[in-house]
Each structure stands twice: as C-alpha cells, then as structure tokens.
Structure 1
Amino acid sequence: MAAIHELATLTSKGQITLPKPIRQALGVDTGGKVAFDLGEDGQIVVTRANAEHEDPVIGAFLSLLARDIEAGQHVRGLPDELAHAMLKQAGHDVNLTNDIDGEVAL
C-alpha cells in the first residue's frame, strides 16, 4: 500500500492539480516541474524534475560565478571559512591531513 494516497480530478483540458501532500512530498511549488513515467504495466510514476536553472540569466550568472570560484578568482575578501567552503565545493583539493581546529563531536 502506498505511503500517500490522493485523488485528483482531470479537467476538460486534461489538467490536474497535484494534491498538497503530493507536492510537499515531491518538494515542488509554483513553477516547479514534475516528470511522469508510464510503465508497461500501466502504472504512472510521478517524480520531481531536476530542471535546475531554467532562467538563462540566472544560469549564466551562476556559471560565471562557478568558473571564477574554480579559478580561485574573486574569492578574496570573504571570511576564511566561507572562502574555504566555496573552494572545497568547487572541487579544489582540501588537505585532509591538517589538524582540525576546535572541538569535534563524534
């Protein structure tokens, strides 16, 4: 049995409204994209589509920012912890043999 079971009504235009519990479970909101996959057994699987940045301006800006970070550019003037975290996320090597500063909870 499904963890969430909801019904939706098809309109004359072939549209449905995803019930709120389904939207919440998928993590989609207004403007979000969902994908429908029809299996051979007739079952439909609905998943959140991972369309990251559809706005070309935002996509271009984030690409420019990522290239700058990867090149080590424009990261100066940030707090050291933030700059280190950004460089780590950009794929720069992090020396794991360095001692850890501060207390560590395990």
Structure 2
Amino acid sequence: MAATLEVESTLTDRYQTTVPETVRRALRLGKRDKIHYTIRPGGEVVLTRAEAPEGDDPVLGNFLSFLVRDIASHPERLQAVDASFVRRIQSLVGGIEVDLDAALSADDE
C-alpha cells in the first residue's frame, strides 16, 4: 500500500495559497488547470484535478502543457522564425481558404 503524504500551505491575506509541488505532481497540474474541491460532511476536503470541459482536446492540452514546461525549462532553445521561412510557408498555402467551423467529411474524420 502506498504511503500517505501530507503537505501544508499557507493562506495569504487575500485567502490565496500556492499548491505545493508534491500535490501538483500527484494531480499532474499545470498552469491554468482547474482544481475541484469535494467537501465531505465531517469537514474533510478532497482536492482533485477538475475534468476538462466537453470539447476540450486532451491530447492538444497535454501537448500545450508540454510546450509550456519545455519553454520554461529551456528558454535557450527558442529561436525566432526566419522571414524566408515565413515566405516559404506562405508560398505553399497562399490562396487556400479554410472554414474552421465547417464539418469534416467522412474521409477526413
């Protein structure tokens, strides 16, 4: 059986607190993630990671969280996008219009 871990945090004058690193790791929390509180009759409060709303793409969310962590950990890896690269991309996709609200065809799903 896994050991129970206990951690503490302090409330500020504005009733805010920092979620301890141990808790963030256990719940796989990243910046801007939501936290769900369950308050039990005896006063015990259970803290869990809030489920993503319907329609949110969990794969995209995980990828974006990965990028946030990687950029924060390795800012030296960031590179400016070269103007010639932008022109090359525009030459490949120039004139193509995309309706992001249009339903995908059966072949595209």
TM-score where L is the length of structure 2: 0.49
**2:22 partner amino acid:** P
Give, in whole Å, the separation in 1 of the partners of 2:17 and 2:52: 21
Give the equivalent residue in structure 1 for 2:36. 35
Q: Secondary structure at the match of 1:47?
A: strand
**1:50 partner amino acid:** E
Q: Secondary structure at the match of 2:26?
A: helix
Q: CA deviation at 1:38?
A: 0.9
| Identity over aligned pairs, percent | 27
Name stretches of at least 5 consecutive residues in structure 1 with no aligned partner: 76-106
**1:33 partner amino acid:** K
Q: CA deviation at 1:4?
A: 1.6
User: For 1:37-73, what per-residue CA distance to the aligned partner results, in whole angstroms no more than 9, with x for missing partners?
Assistant: 111000000000012439xxx9xx6x96xx63xx632
User: For 1:1-59, what per-residue CA distance to the aligned partner results, in whole angstroms no more than 9, with x for missing partners?
Assistant: x62210000111111111001001001111111111111000000000012439xxx9x
**1:27-106 alignment runs, 5 A limit:** 27-52=28-53, 53=56, 68=104, 72-74=106-108
Give, in whole Å, the separation in 1 of the partners of 2:19 and 2:5: 12
Matched, 1:14 2:15: yes
Name stretches of at least 5 consecutive residues in structure 2 with no aligned partner: 62-99
**1:74 partner amino acid:** D
CA RMSD of aligned residues (A): 2.9
Q: CA deviation at 1:74?
A: 1.9
Give, in whole Å, the separation in 1 of the partners of 2:5 and 2:28: 14
Give, in whole Å, the separation in 2 of the partners of 1:19 and 1:42: 21
Structure 1 segments (4+ residues) deviating >4 Å? none
Give the equivalent residue in structure 2 for 1:84. none
